[in-house]
Amino acid sequence: MSGQDSEGHLKTEYGRRLVPVIIDEAARDTPDRTYAAIPRSSDLSEGFQDITYKRFANAINRVSFWLDSQFGKSDAPETFAYAGPKDLRYTILTVAAIKTGCEVRSGRWSHVLVEGYAADA
């Protein structure tokens, strides 16, 4: 939450905002600001593509809707495993999980969830 104090200075409640809210505010207030620059291909000489906060927030929202369609709404958080590269896709998925109340596990935890799922089947 941003605002101004009595002297007109900007004040921000650092440590009191959730990451998805910060990203949505940046997308709203400075949509063309660069969030990340990603390689155009595995050949770095081909340059980088800027990802704006608007594009980043839109990707998070699309994944959030997808997660809702997969898990629905429940009282207890749904936990799912992610086994993939820890690049921008992982960040998008993690923030979308926060928005939807899901928990995402990766790395050493993902094999436990997959094995547990196989044991339940």
Confidence check: pLDDT of 115 > 70? no
Confidence check: pLDDT of 80 > 60? yes
**Domains of the chain with bracketed CATH:** 18-120 (3.40.50.980)
DSSP-assigned letters across all residues of 36-99 = EEEESSS-GGG-EEEEEHHHHHHHHHHHHHHHHHHH---SSPPEEEE-S-SSHHHHHHHHHHHH
What confidence score (pLDDT) does residue 96 get?
Answer: 93
Report the alpha-carbon distance of residue 28 to residue 5 in Å, rounded: 22
Confidence check: pLDDT of 117 > 50? no
Confidence check: pLDDT of 87 > 90? no
Segment 104-108 shows an average pLDDT of: 73
**Bridge-partner residues for 34, per DSSP?**
52
CA-only gyration radius of the chain, Å: 18
Q: Which residues contact 55 (CB under 8 A, 6 or more apart)?
A: 35
What confidence score (pLDDT) does residue 114 get?
Answer: 46
Q: What is the pLDDT of residues 4-62, one digit of tens each?
A: 566 655 566 767 788 999 999 999 999 999 999 999 999 999 999 999 999 999 999 99
Task: State the amino acid at position 40 in one-letter form.
Answer: R
What confidence score (pLDDT) does residue 119 get?
Answer: 43
What confidence score (pLDDT) does residue 86 get?
Answer: 80
Neighbours of 22 (CB within 10 A): 14
What confidence score (pLDDT) does residue 120 get?
Answer: 43
Task: For residue 12, give the H/E element and its range.
Answer: strand 10-12
Confidence check: pLDDT of 69 > 80? yes
